[in-house]
Amino acid sequence: MIAMDNLNGERRRQGRIEVICGSMFSGKTEELIRRLKRAKFAKQRVEIFKPSIDTRYSEEDVVSHDQNAIRSTPIDSSGNILLLASNIDVVGIDEAQFLDEGLTEVCNRLANNGVRVIIAGLDMDFKGVPFGPIPALCAIADEVTKVHAICVKCGALANISHRLVANEHRVLLGEQEEYEPLCRDCYQKTLQIESDQQEATPAKK
């Protein structure tokens, strides 16, 4: 017998993991919110989580750069998701790169129990290095959507979030004042320019 959703008559989907990844300003959160709102419209039980560290637009809401928002629960650890996501059809997780590596196992357990898990996050940090649990989540996902920003220098598809401020900490929350999306070629050229400028600047005594 086919299980049917209570109101819309659609076949109930089996548990699955969907990852939405890419650089900053590529529309990851926008796409996450779109999918979650569609699930809510279908009368599915939805719970949304985000790292408590991300307070750029709101301490509780998941908010895109275009100011679209949806209510969420801030968490400090991926393990909190299992405690808070009982009797849920769909789990959404934003800015997943800031969560711990245990998120991969948490998402697997949820999907194996019939939950649809939708994750959005940066796949690389500002140096182009794979970021947090996102690479592992891409490996186990049923579906991976790679979204792209537009390079601010040449208009090609961007793949990296270039940091504009002098700060080597891997985690630095910011917006357009701190980051810009660049394509691979423009990023390499920018790194060379920055290197030349550093060499030309006299060292402080």
Mapped onto helix, strand or coil, the DSSP state of residue 110 is helix
- For the chain, the C-alpha Rg in angstroms (whole number) is 19
CA angle (179, 183, 184) in 5-degree steps: 110
Start-end of H helices in 67-183: 79-84, 103-112, 134-140
**Known catalytic residue: 95?**
yes
> Of the residues 18, 31, 47, 95, which is catalytic?
95
Q: What is the DSSP string of 61-88?
A: EEE-TT--EEE-EEESSTHHHHHH-TT-
Catalytic residues: 95
